[in-house]
A and B are shown apart, each in its own frame.
Chain A
Amino acid sequence: MSSAELRYPRQTLWADYLRATAGVLLCGAPLLLLDVNRWLAYCLAAGLVLFALFLVRTALRHQTRYVLGPDTLCADGPAGTLVEWGRLDRLKLSYFSTKRDRSDGWMQLSVGSTGGRLLKVDSSLDGFHDIVERAASAADAGGVGLSDATRANLRAMGVSVAGQEELA
């Protein structure tokens, strides 16, 4: 198996930059230009922190490339980390939806190997399915304990792991 280089789509990143910048301006401008009431200033400052965090996270994602190899998943960037499939000890696949019928949601994969930091990737990442497949097979081989929710989500993505038949 050869290595694959994965990134978040450029279009998604630019849309996020736009949102973060708009938020920072909308919350920051009144704080700088107007005489704002103390309690409202706290609310605006909280908004400013939220949008600034989002801006930083978007920049980190922009600068990070994910290299999926046969033995490792490497996040190569400013806050990079390495997950060794052979030493995988954490795998969680969550699905988030804000609709009543649970549609139009997004997935989030959290993986980590012994002694390493947790790596989180969203389903908007190109090649997300490949990472999930590789992580699931590593978890299967390493006997990593998976939650019911993770098993159900893997099954929904068409990825099979041992013990899924119990949920069927």
Chain B
Amino acid sequence: MLRFIVRRVLLMIPTLFIISALVYFIIDLPPGDCVTAQVDELLSRGDADALARADELRTLYGLDQPLWRRYFEWVGGIFRWDFGLSCQDTVPVSDLIGERMALTLIMESCTIAFIWIVSFVIGVYAATHQYKMGDYIASFIGFVGLSIPNFLLALVLLYVGKVYFGLSIGGLMDPEYIDKPFSWGKLVSVAEHLIIPVIVIGMSGTAGMIRRLRANLLDELQKQYVVTGRAKGLPPMKLLIKYPLRHAINPFVADIGGLLPDVISGSVIVSVVLSLPTTGPMLLGALKTQDVNLAATFLLFVAVLTVIGMLISDLALAALDPRIRFGATSEK
């Protein structure tokens, strides 16, 4: 197992390096740069010195240097937690991402926990109660979750909350806690505001997981060894947990790594719709204005979380069932 972990961790380093390079160069590919938009704005206001200031700004942001040099300076800065300057407010990226990154991590962690818990319970129930009312309801939830885009669900909930219940669903905390230090009241406020975003963002992931778990468990429950165990009088719960469930959750565990980038990318538009102070809206803005340092930093964090998620999922998969499956081959 140690060799496997070492191989994977070692592979992570060039993987992240390549991802960071690709992201940095691709964001910079379109014509123009982050100063172009600022200059256009200044010109539209009638600022005669706009073009002269453009050169100053380009020097300030390092845009007068070749792309490869900017990239290596950015990569070198990562070790010092210095991701360069953001073009949006001319402040260091590390100052911009602090609380937003923390709120994003809290929201995404809650969403993933929601997806696992809800889909596990409903998926197992649906498989063990096939063609009963509960199974039909679970299937309905699955189809609804898969077919409705997250942002549309967010819009519907915003409308319903405002018009029928007089509630303001947007934001991730009550206005009095914004930009205030951490407190118990702020935590409670964040927890209350998390419920709707977590359900909205987690809906499609939950639906997909329910359907996968149900299908896998149904396959296992129809196998001979389960029928034999049932015929020999094994208690139903013991029979379910001991083998079929362990086999059925293999793909469930394997999906952990893929879930994280899905949830993060799925939450961007929802965060914009629900006015959530997470990284989503800021990333969207950074991509639109070609704020390379800010956008590349966000995307690098997503890549780091993804490769760590993949490693955890592979380790969990290896530890889940220490038996060889017939037909499988072990390496020498």
Contacts and interface: CB of A to CB of B under 8 A. Distances in A.
Interface of A: 16, 19-20, 22-23, 26, 30, 34-37, 39-40, 47, 50-51, 53-54, 57, 94-108, 122-124, 128, 148-149, 152-153, 156-157
A98 B4 contact: yes
B133 interface: no
Contact of B10 (A19, A37, A53): A19
A23 B250 CA distance: 30
Given A26-B13, A105-B328, A123-B330, A16 B3 contact: yes
A103 B6 CA distance: 20
Given A37-B79, A95-B330, A105 B324 contact: yes
30 contacts: A19-B6, A23-B10, A26-B13, A34-B76, A35-B79, A37-B81, A39-B81, A40-B79, A47-B9, A50-B9, A51-B10, A54-B3, A57-B2, A94-B322, A95-B323, A96-B4, A97-B324, A98-B315, A98-B318, A100-B251, A101-B325, A103-B329, A104-B330, A105-B318, A105-B328, A108-B1, A123-B332, A128-B332, A156-B326, A157-B324
Contacts of A102: 250, 321, 324-325, 328
Nearest to B82: A37
Contact of B6 (A20, A98, A108): A20
Contact of B80 (A35, A94, A103, A107): A35
A102 B1 CA distance: 15
A47 B325 CA distance: 33
Contact of B317 (A53, A100, A157): A100
Contacts of A34: 76, 79-80
A82 to B, nearest CB: 23
A96 B330 CA distance: 9
B135 interface: no
Given A36-B80, A105-B330, 7 more contacts: A96-B318, A97-B328, A99-B317, A104-B330, A106-B331, A123-B332, A153-B324
A96 B322 contact: yes
B7 interface: yes
Contact of B324 (A26, A98, A156): A156
Interface string B1-33: 111111101100100000000000000000000
Contacts of B323: 95, 148-149, 152-153, 156
A153 B327 CA distance: 12
A157 to B, nearest CB: 8
Nearest to B11: A19
Contacts, number: 109
Given A95-B322, A96-B322, A101 B328 contact: yes
Given A37-B79, A97-B317, A23 B331 contact: no
Nearest to A156: B324
Which of B2, B9, B321, B323 has most A Cβ within 10 Å?
B323
If over half of B's interface residues share one DSSP class (helix, strand or loop), that class is named, otherwise mixed; here it is helix
A50 B328 contact: no
A95 B322 CA distance: 5
B6 A51 contact: yes
Nearest to A54: B6
Contacts of A30: 79
A50 B250 CA distance: 27
Nearest to A147: B322
Interface string B279-301: 00000000000000000000000
Contacts of B80: 34-37
Given A50-B5, A103-B328, A36 B79 contact: yes
Contacts of A35: 79-80
Nearest to B6: A54
Contacts of B13: 26
Contact of A53 (B2, B324, B331, B332): B2
B13 to A, nearest CB: 6
Nearest to A96: B318
A148 B330 CA distance: 19
B330 A40 contact: no
A47 B6 CA distance: 9
Contacts of A124: 331-332
B314 interface: yes
A100 B216 CA distance: 12
A152 B332 CA distance: 19
B119 to A, nearest CB: 18
B234 to A, nearest CB: 13
